[in-house]
Chains A and B, each alone.
Chain A
């Protein structure tokens, strides 16, 4: 399925289940999303990890609603737990099956996201290892002067942002000297197709989900 359509489908589902309280519907969505992940040959360990991490907020929500709220509404507590797992499984069904480059290219080509956003974002994303390194060196440099920079120290952010400003300037200049022009028409080396099949899939899944959410309790 086309990456952008897949993303929009996940967003629509996530929004919709936020405002509905159908336990069976939520569970069916979770099962479908997990089945899709397994069929897409995503390693099982990668699927299980987010599910395990979610146990903590899920348990907290459940116990608060079921034991500490005035109504002790156990069914609603289960709805909330299933809702959290819907977010996680539907979200994973997009992020674990779609390479990020494909998704950004698709947003640019199929959804007309301005290229400055697509490539600006990608440029920043690729700097992540350097940012981690920079934050580490700022901290170590502080330690050498006997200053401990905690995560709540304004100085830590200040120094990191100064580095970010110079990187942003340099990167933008580098991209422009290599011929990147904001808003200019571009050709694509990797074309992401948006076929009729993709649209058909999108519409069918959307209709099925509406039916599930309306028909099931």
Chain B
């Protein structure tokens, strides 16, 4: 492949995909709040974040599988965050920071494969890198360093499962459909 830069069409497509994921997730956005309310009395309120994080990070890996250009996963995730900011999500400009962190997390998995193969191993790698990078960010941002150790282990495992199920398996299933439709070349 000698197509290594983003063209107008790719940028529009990545932004559109980010919007699609946003639109579909928006309908289920109440899950996060409901989970938070349900988990707070048992002391696991912030875990709602770990349970749902895989859903937030779906656009990145999908962009990576679809375009197969270095940087597409990062860009897909970042554009998604930018769309959320413009639509008036409560976090405003801070969305962009989350977008960068999540984008770096998913992109790193593709970097580890040297952009050579796009199979289930890639799914596991992106899930792992996304889990650790976003967890590291929450370590500072949401004060995870003050949580009890056993709670941290539970949250890390839950976060990985969420990443693996939504940003991994579900994304791979979508990518498989796209491949069968000959939309993904090679």
User: Is A91 in contact with B93, judged by CB distance below 8 angstroms?
Assistant: yes
Q: B residues within 8 A CB of A180?
A: 8
Residue of A7, A50, A127, A158 touching B93 (CB-CB under 8 A): A7
Q: A residues within 8 A CB of B18?
A: 124
Please tell me if A95 contacts chain B, counting CB pairs below 8 Å.
yes
User: Is A128 in contact with B92, judged by CB distance below 8 angstroms?
Assistant: no
Q: Tally inter-chain residue pairs, CB-CB below 8 A.
A: 202
User: Is A92 in contact with B183, judged by CB distance below 8 angstroms?
Assistant: no
User: Is A15 in contact with B97, judged by CB distance below 8 angstroms?
Assistant: yes
Closest B residue by C-beta to A71: B146
Please tell me if B86 contacts chain A, counting CB pairs below 8 Å.
yes
A34-83, CB < 8 A from B: 49-50, 53-54, 56-57, 59-61, 63-65, 67-71, 73, 76, 79-80, 83
Interface residues on B, range: 35 or more
1/0 per residue B35-70: CB within 8 Å of A? 011011001111011000000000000100010000
1/0 per residue A10-50: CB within 8 Å of B? 11001100110000000000000000000000000000011
User: Is B91 in contact with A63, judged by CB distance below 8 angstroms?
Assistant: no
Closest A residue by C-beta to B148: A70
User: Is B94 in contact with A14, judged by CB distance below 8 angstroms?
Assistant: yes
Closest B residue by C-beta to A59: B40
Please tell me if A175 contacts chain B, counting CB pairs below 8 Å.
yes
B contact face: mostly helix, strand, loop, or mixed: helix
User: Is B8 in contact with A175, judged by CB distance below 8 angstroms?
Assistant: yes
Residue of A88, A157, A167 touching B24 (CB-CB under 8 A): A157
A contact face: mostly helix, strand, loop, or mixed: helix
User: Is B24 in contact with A65, judged by CB distance below 8 angstroms?
Assistant: no
**Among listed B103-111, B115-123, B135-143, interface-contacting one:** B135-143
Please tell me if A204 contacts chain B, counting CB pairs below 8 Å.
no
User: Is B20 in contact with A157, judged by CB distance below 8 angstroms?
Assistant: yes
Bound Cα distance from A80 to B6, whole angstroms: 39
Show 9 residue pairs from A and B whose CB-CB distance is below 8 angstroms, ordered by the A residue.
A53-B90, A56-B33, A63-B45, A68-B44, A124-B12, A124-B79, A152-B166, A164-B13, A169-B9
Using a CB–CB cutoff of 8 Å, the interface residues on chain B facing chain A are: 6-13, 15-21, 23-25, 27-28, 33, 36-37, 39-40, 43-46, 48-49, 62, 66, 79, 82-83, 85-88, 90-97, 140-143, 146-148, 151, 166, 170, 173-174, 176-178, 181, 183
